Amino acid sequence: MRLSDAEWKIADCLWKNNSMTITELTKELAPNTGWTKNTVITLLKRMTEKGAVTYVQEDRAKRFCPAIDRTEAEMEETTSFLDKVYKGNVGLLISNLIGSDQLTGEQLEELRNIIREG
């Protein structure tokens, strides 16, 4: 299941908090996104239809929970990105990262360790 950038923001909040109401999500997201309650409702409706979130009705509020596993969603996104940008070539991605001079020495060492352990 592919999530839009906006849906990722909501999913990330739900993964961190396990469950949230529309009001709670709006309060957490508004400072960085400027989203109103109506925007959050629209995104949650779309995500519910996709099967990305579920909810339980509590008195007057719906409590939303993630219906997809974060690790699986990350893997799907990573695979999609690799296919789209690098035609599935992980080596080309790593080569571009190293050649970009944007990685710190610590990040390069972490990458070396990951490759050795893989």
Pairwise CA distance, residues 59 & 61, whole Å: 6
Question: In the predicted model, is pLDDT for residue 65 greater than 90?
Answer: yes
Res 13: pLDDT: 97
For residue 74, give the CATH number of its domain.
1.10.4040
Q: Examine the domain organization and report whether 57 and 107 are in the same domain.
A: no
**102 band by pLDDT with thresholds 50, 70 and 90:** confident
Question: In the predicted model, is pLDDT for residue 35 greater than 80?
Answer: yes
Question: In the predicted model, is pLDDT for residue 23 greater than 80?
Answer: yes
Q: Which domain holds residue 90?
A: 70-117
Q: Examine the domain organization and report whether 79 and 45 are in the same domain.
A: no
Pairwise CA distance, residues 52 & 14, whole Å: 11
**1 band by pLDDT with thresholds 50, 70 and 90:** confident
Question: In the predicted model, is pLDDT for residue 40 greater than 90?
Answer: yes
- Residue 7 DSSP label: H
Q: Examine the domain organization and report whether 59 and 46 are in the same domain.
A: yes
pLDDT tens digits, 90-101: 999 988 888 888
